[in-house]
Chains A and B, each alone.
Chain A
């Protein structure tokens, strides 16, 4: 694996409590530049809470974390400027055209008009959407929407892009096209932090962490984890770990 040693996320004993409930319980890990990092866990294990903290959207209860070179406890706003985020549910404005969405997000991310123009041409060409530039996003097939929202999350060339279940419900061919966009981004030095319920996609990651009851119970490359758990695939590793959960599913 061509991976750098430069840490872009460094988390130490990061914890989030809601009242007496510990949603995220002292998690510690590093993620490197250009790495594809799979963030797995059963529903309710604490993935979303952890991811919201790393994006600067939820303030941690305790611990330390550096994201994209900034301290999560002091410079959460700087972090937001230096990361990209794509969720399955909401990423693009359905009632704006493809072009208008790119224009809008370019503005939000503080790109100049010239930069937006260049990015626009590049993206439309890369995604083969040239003849759809003035189509409303609403009428694009789901797979195209997902590819477009990924590219939009990458408009400002962030150091890290967070993808929350980016391929849910997408057909198997488009799902693989989406992953080739992820590979390209990682090869270009962007760190990709991704959650998924597709266990075959866990195999595409450089390293995978698996959360159980707010803790990270396993972290390693897919090959290491399969060996450690004597499992034939990541699905089986996941089942072995997630079955140990005592917390009610969320």
Chain B
């Protein structure tokens, strides 16, 4: 049995004058024990999808199941089995760290002791602040407490909505290491992120944009399917280099990427010498590179 099955889910929101379609016929399945990533910017529909799967919102059409239970018919069963960490901090700010954790354990008819092994690696990092009110915790500590609370009833499927948004690069790295460890406990994890560089840490990802899934596959397969040579250009005047490259008829796309510009030519067999001869730049360097998920995402967006 697949722990998460989504079939042609669609959802539209109506405001006074306009309607916004948050999800257009979205379908995917997650495998048992998989770390599955929903990768896309704000407004892609990630949160709406999470809310439907955690039975907090009804879809307009389509079906979905979690742990074999239907999100509409069996919502009560699902609520017992999933852990959900919303994008917005949703614990009780005026309860202490340990009170929040006991509260969630009690709601699910369990105790902190019973499942302590599951949260130990995470909770031990904030345990010394256990008598501090949750509202007074720092961002990183709030995140760890929220994850502990989402895990305390040993869920079979864990939904994490943008757990690393606004978090610095070091803490983000540590958070993903925690997720990798959790995965070993046989928990299926569905995680969303707007950071494209985090896609590589998932087993499989769905690239999502404006309510549509553009691609579902392992990160390696997605980058393999880029299907055309990708070049990185660098010189001592990057701004001029961009203008020069964009103006060339041979160039199909050119965009900045860290310290380099990434370039795709109209003709995959384009001679690089012909291009270089037209560029009057100091310290010009070029190399062929492997595309990243972000390159693929932008390519699919067009």
Inter-chain contact B141/A203, CB cutoff 8 Å: no
Q: Given the complex of chains A and B, what is the CA–CA distance between A164 and B44 in angstroms?
A: 23
- Tell me if A179 is interfacial: C-beta within 8 Å of chain B: yes
**Interface digits, B259-295 against A, CB 8 Å rule (1 contact, 0 not)?**
1000000000000000000000000000000000010
Closest beta carbon of chain A to B129's beta carbon, Å: 9
Inter-chain contact B170/A243, CB cutoff 8 Å: yes
- Tell me if A141 is interfacial: C-beta within 8 Å of chain B: yes
- Tell me if A150 is interfacial: C-beta within 8 Å of chain B: no
Inter-chain contact A233/B43, CB cutoff 8 Å: no
Interface size class of B (residues with CB under 8 A): 35 or more
- Tell me if A249 is interfacial: C-beta within 8 Å of chain B: yes
Q: Given the complex of chains A and B, what is the CA–CA distance between A21 and B18 in angstroms?
A: 50
Query: Which residue of A165, A233, A250 contacts B140 across the interface (Cβ within 8 Å)?
Result: A250
Task: Identify which of A40-48, A57-65, A104-112 touches chain B.
Answer: A40-48
Query: Which residue of A41, A141, A168 contacts B165 across the interface (Cβ within 8 Å)?
Result: A168
- Tell me if A161 is interfacial: C-beta within 8 Å of chain B: no
Within 8 A of B (CB), among A191-250: 197-200, 203-204, 222-223, 233-235, 238-239, 242-243, 245, 248-250
Query: A residues within 8 A CB of B256?
Result: 176, 179, 204
- Tell me if B139 is interfacial: C-beta within 8 Å of chain A: yes
Inter-chain contact A197/B166, CB cutoff 8 Å: yes
Inter-chain contact A200/B166, CB cutoff 8 Å: no
Inter-chain contact B298/A249, CB cutoff 8 Å: no
Query: A residues within 8 A CB of B124?
Result: none
Inter-chain contact B259/A239, CB cutoff 8 Å: no
Query: A residues within 8 A CB of B195?
Result: 198
User: Known contacts A168-B166, A169-B41, A250-B140: does B258 contact A43 (CB below 8 Å)?
Assistant: no
Closest beta carbon of chain A to B39's beta carbon, Å: 10
Query: Which residue of A41, A43, A176, A238 contacts B167 across the interface (Cβ within 8 Å)?
Result: A43
Within 8 A of B (CB), among A145-177: 165, 168-174, 176
Query: B residues within 8 A CB of A139?
Result: 15, 18, 20
Query: B residues within 8 A CB of A124?
Result: none
Closest beta carbon of chain B to A42's beta carbon, Å: 4
Inter-chain contact B41/A242, CB cutoff 8 Å: no
Inter-chain contact A176/B168, CB cutoff 8 Å: no
Query: B residues within 8 A CB of A176?
Result: 255-256
User: Known contacts A142-B41, A249-B171: does B209 contact A171 (CB below 8 Å)?
Assistant: yes
- Tell me if A183 is interfacial: C-beta within 8 Å of chain B: yes
Query: Which residue of A43, A168, A197, A238 contacts B138 across the interface (Cβ within 8 Å)?
Result: A43
Inter-chain contact B168/A142, CB cutoff 8 Å: no
Inter-chain contact B138/A44, CB cutoff 8 Å: yes
Query: B residues within 8 A CB of A171?
Result: 40-41, 44, 209, 297, 301
Inter-chain contact A197/B43, CB cutoff 8 Å: no
- Tell me if B72 is interfacial: C-beta within 8 Å of chain A: no
Query: Which residue of B44, B168, B239 contacts A42 across the interface (Cβ within 8 Å)?
Result: B168
- Tell me if B247 is interfacial: C-beta within 8 Å of chain A: no
User: Known contacts A200-B258, A204-B256, A249-B138: does B298 contact A238 (CB below 8 Å)?
Assistant: no
User: Known contacts A44-B140, A169-B194, A170-B41: does B168 contact A233 (CB below 8 Å)?
Assistant: no
Closest beta carbon of chain B to A184's beta carbon, Å: 10
Inter-chain contact A248/B297, CB cutoff 8 Å: no
**Interface digits, B198-218 against A, CB 8 Å rule (1 contact, 0 not)?**
000000000001000000000
Query: B residues within 8 A CB of A183?
Result: 239
Q: Given the complex of chains A and B, what is the CA–CA distance between A41 and B169 in angstroms?
A: 9
7 A–B contacts, CB within 8 A, in A order: A168-B166, A168-B194, A170-B41, A174-B41, A198-B195, A199-B258, A234-B259
The 8 closest A-B pairs by CB, nearest first: A171-B41, A249-B140, A169-B42, A250-B138, A200-B258, A42-B168, A203-B259, A242-B170
4 new A-B contacts, CB < 8 A, other than A172-B41, A242-B170, are: A165-B166, A183-B239, A197-B167, A250-B139
